[in-house]
Structure 1
């Protein structure tokens, strides 16, 4: 059985974590497979968004601890860094962030550790009422190492993030909504996925390049001072002014408004 599945549903590419017997614990092999799938989705001009979900009872209970233990058993820091180079949750997350299409997480059940960190890199996060989020890493003697110490404070705020990390305390769907960890909460997976498809339909009303540029501009807020971010935003707007699709859409809008 493939531990990660890839498919297309209309204009949505879907990645499904498919290791339900391990609560979709994310192994090195799964991360490599997901990297290839992200490239495939971005290279398909028909795809306007990508979703990540999990089969079985959970989205993901985290990174595969056996992989982590293998790294921890290396004798020197240099060996440990070499063993994890290029295939971490952070590497996968940064690829998600750089993808030119929006990435949507569809979360149900447990979303813990590396699974939660993966979600924090996504553009939009929807969940069901039974979703449970947490960073339990300190309980096994490590800290969140897949972006959790950097992304979670930006998303949920410093106080909430520190409490979650230091105590390994878990939060439910409604608390995640209150903290801004998720966009919306749904009664079940079918309802959630219908909303995702409706969202993809709305996204597809804009040119693909426009969405890509909007994502790049918003990503800049995470790494640049506002002055530099505003300059980058203006640069992208001016670049889009040269697009035939932008000219077509603006002309159509003005025509509907009675302008010549």
Structure 2
């Protein structure tokens, strides 16, 4: 039995024990497509379940939302569309109650040679959402978020999860390592010692541990509660000035790249720049007059 077969033999019986309930998915209010209204997605579903909130649901149930190049291509296209939409203020990325994404598609990766992976920059496009999406991106994680699925969640700006979700970077069991930022983002989230242990052993960690360690912001008992609270947070964010929200996301993300002194200076410059926006005037005037601000998003 090879490493891939052994890993699947260990994981799949546990996954089959968790029933998938399509009824737990939010009601679709508005549908989008990557290119036009005549184009449908195959591996994802896109909706607007709350005003101002776009939702992308990974939709490869037979493979537990395994991440393949075609799925990532659709995901990037959908995120670009939602990011460009003037009616969308925040985006939620989720999977099913059984699996957010149980890993990368092993069938796609297994036959690759070094030269093929290297010359085609295999999985480089996975990082597009960390650089191209300017609006807040919230991950709602139930079930398994393993390997590439864990990395995909870590790329998001905010993670909410169920208590019994299972995160992990088990690539070591397949004779390889994380390749989409797992070793870097997980280390920043939990520290070197804990990340080293998780990556070298391939051990999973629960949603409750993810929240306790700072990987996730909050954890919830059920998938239904998770989706309700994630969408509620996304709707709240979408109700603020898009200019200020974009700036807030930018300065927090910069804290991961800059030394403290440089980061504080960067934050101050962005803070100064917002005094040139209409929404800064709208917000402060409304506060002074005890009125609800009517954002112009400019």
1:193-239 deviations in whole A, cap 9, x for unaligned? 11112212321332001010111111111212222222221221121
Give the 3-state SS of the residue equivalent to 1:47 in structure 2.
Answer: coil
Partner residue, 1:171: 205
1:42-89 deviations in whole A, cap 9, x for unaligned? 111111111111136211111101221132xx2xx443212334xx1x
For the 8 Å contact 2:97–2:142, the answer to whether it is kept is no
User: What TM-score, normalized by structure 1, do the two folds share?
Assistant: 0.90
Aligned pairs for 1:123-162 (under 5 A) are 123-162=157-196
> Following TM superposition, by how much is the alpha carbon of 1:135 offset from its aligned partner in structure 2, in angstroms?
0.6
Aligned pairs for 1:170-209 (under 5 A) are 170-209=204-243
Q: 2:144 aligns with which of 97, 110, 115?
A: 110
> Following TM superposition, by how much is the alpha carbon of 1:128 offset from its aligned partner in structure 2, in angstroms?
1.4
| Cα distance change of structure 1 residues 56 and 252 upon mapping to structure 2, 3 Å threshold | closer
Give the 3-state SS of the residue equivalent to 1:8 in structure 2.
Answer: strand
| Cα distance change of structure 1 residues 182 and 56 upon mapping to structure 2, 3 Å threshold | closer
Q: d(CA) in 1 for partners of 2:236 and 2:96?
A: 26
For the 8 Å contact 1:97–1:121, the answer to whether it is kept is no
Q: d(CA) in 2 for partners of 1:56 and 1:193?
A: 10
Unaligned 5+ residue runs, structure 1? Answer: none
Aligned pairs for 1:1-260 (under 5 A) are 2-9=42-49, 10-55=51-96, 57-71=98-112, 74=113, 77-85=114-122, 88=123, 91-96=125-130, 98-256=132-290
1:88-112 deviations in whole A, cap 9, x for unaligned? 1x54345235422111111111110
Out of 219-228 and 22-31, give the one that drifted further: 219-228
For the 8 Å contact 2:150–2:167, the answer to whether it is kept is yes
| Cα distance change of structure 1 residues 253 and 56 upon mapping to structure 2, 3 Å threshold | closer
Q: d(CA) in 2 for partners of 1:92 and 1:213?
A: 23
For the 8 Å contact 1:120–1:152, the answer to whether it is kept is yes
| Cα distance change of structure 1 residues 70 and 84 upon mapping to structure 2, 3 Å threshold | farther
Unaligned 5+ residue runs, structure 2? Answer: 1-40, 292-298
Give the 3-state SS of the residue equivalent to 1:70 in structure 2.
Answer: coil
User: What TM-score, normalized by structure 2, do the two folds share?
Assistant: 0.79
| Cα distance change of structure 1 residues 227 and 78 upon mapping to structure 2, 3 Å threshold | farther
Q: d(CA) in 1 for partners of 2:237 and 2:167?
A: 27
For the 8 Å contact 2:43–2:71, the answer to whether it is kept is yes
Give the 3-state SS of the residue equivalent to 1:84 in structure 2.
Answer: coil
1:162-197 deviations in whole A, cap 9, x for unaligned? 110000011112222211111111121111111112
